[in-house]
Structure 1
């Protein structure tokens, strides 16, 4: 495995995941779609852990890490799947592109990190302004778009809280182990939620929904995770941070080409503003030094 192939793989997986999320709930319900995906991903992850001779540990710090991870896997993802019913798949990628900004804010507030420099604050404000622009165009997306945007934005916040809590716990566990423990807890919660709210097996699973569930369970959950941590190990953080700036654009194009999603002017402008805000947040200090 080479770094360029892994990098391209993560971009492709992250770009196609929002569309897979939307398709996986068609006619079977979003709860069945996300539950099936996570159960498949959990089983495969546990099998991989066994193959790699890695095991889940259950001391206090480990359990705290698993719970923190499950907050993102269960809490954040269930909101994404719920919101995907009301907004285009490209909008999901755009809103999740804000996660580096929200993680930065929460890390400064709850971890005491001295990360909110004037340039980073400017990037955060500019990125959030892009979100406001997207909100202003909700009329183009239908009456329920505001609910969908709210759910996915809340999901982004939960994802950020999960990341900050994981950093705060500092259990020192391999990432694959933390993912396996988080998936195991989240899968139990998904199964309970599905049984209580729905509990009925679909009479028919359309091919597109079925293939999307398999794709998300195998590729997005298992392969995507492995490639991402491979990049974290081999590249600098600023190089990996480019990915959330690329995927909203590619996800928007894929949604338009494969799902006939409308790309509004507000979405284009808002996406550009969010990407520019992320650039200022990640590399604004370098630009400032050159100008000075």
Structure 2
């Protein structure tokens, strides 16, 4: 029964996070990108903080290391990732953005090895990172004669968003702090929202609340704040405890399928052949980089299954 429960939650999480890219594209018709991302995490951060206060004893950081972990999470995992992603999605499809973001687990491994030179990637792991980056190139398809084309720049920004998230994931794990993940996420969300509000003001984004009350804008903001962020992260925490980091990373490769289907149904977006090929290369890169961990994980699953 627990296996069916985990599978159901995994598919719900993939659906929530995959369709979130479509909600971003829909909301960008009414809200400026950085402000949109900031408003999302104003709401999500407060909800997550309430959950942290209910679920864990250490509901707020208490020492320098814990605040450092929150600061890294706020700047990289929330502010940089979402600001770049939302700006990038102004000029690219939701499916392309979701696929580029799926490179994050591959980049995380690359950053981890760079920061710990003694823990070098194996030859197959190096090939995996290269294959993943080739997949990005296939999706972006940069034109040497026009490198500043809107679509290429947009996809480049989404790639930078994935890189920021990957680096933030590695750095937050390397900081020696005992902060519960729920607390770290809550304060990172609120801190990241504050950073994005400052960036929004600095770049002069228009503040037009009258445009925000459009039903589609309110629906997108509510879905991203409540569904993709609050409910999504609660499911993520539950599955992280039950499945482990390797299996939960696989959601990155199911979510883009959801994005492509929902984007086609709701936004009439069509996924071209180059995007599909790039997705395949990124998935292959992930399998090469994580092959040992995946083997170990499947070994644990088989041993659990045989003991039941």
**Alpha-carbon shift at residue 260 of structure 1 (Å):** 0.8
Instruction: Give the aligned partner of residue 61 of structure 1.
Output: 65
Instruction: Give the aligned partner of residue 120 of structure 1.
Output: 125
Describe how 1:1-292 pairs up with structure 2 within 5 A: 2-52=5-55, 54=57, 55-71=59-75, 72-112=77-117, 114=119, 116-136=121-141, 143-196=149-202, 197-198=204-205, 200-205=207-212, 206-283=214-291
Summarize the Cα distance change of 1:219–1:281 in structure 2 as closer, same or farther, 3 Å threshold.
same
How many residues are matched? 285
Secondary structure of the 1:26 match is coil
**Alpha-carbon shift at residue 261 of structure 1 (Å):** 0.9
Runs of 4+ in 1 over 6 A off after TM superposition: 284-287
Secondary structure of the 2:30 match is coil
Q: More displaced, 270-279 or 174-183?
A: 270-279
- Matches of 2:243 and 2:83, distance apart in 1: 31
**Alpha-carbon shift at residue 201 of structure 1 (Å):** 3.3
**Alpha-carbon shift at residue 28 of structure 1 (Å):** 2.2
- Matches of 2:293 and 2:10, distance apart in 1: 25
8 Å CA contact retained: 1:137, 1:264: no
Unpaired runs of 5+ residues, structure 2, are 296-308
8 Å CA contact retained: 2:135, 2:279: yes
Summarize the Cα distance change of 1:129–1:194 in structure 2 as closer, same or farther, 3 Å threshold.
closer
Q: State the TM-score, normalizing by the size of structure 1.
A: 0.90
8 Å CA contact retained: 1:104, 1:115: no
Summarize the Cα distance change of 1:201–1:229 in structure 2 as closer, same or farther, 3 Å threshold.
same
Q: More displaced, 192-201 or 105-114?
A: 192-201
Q: State the TM-score, normalizing by the size of structure 2.
A: 0.85
Secondary structure of the 2:40 match is helix
**Alpha-carbon shift at residue 53 of structure 1 (Å):** 5.4
**Alpha-carbon shift at residue 234 of structure 1 (Å):** 0.5
- Matches of 2:266 and 2:120, distance apart in 1: 39
Unpaired runs of 5+ residues, structure 1, are 288-292
Instruction: Give the aligned partner of residue 290 of structure 1.
Output: none
RMSD across aligned positions (CA) = 2.3
**Alpha-carbon shift at residue 113 of structure 1 (Å):** 6.1
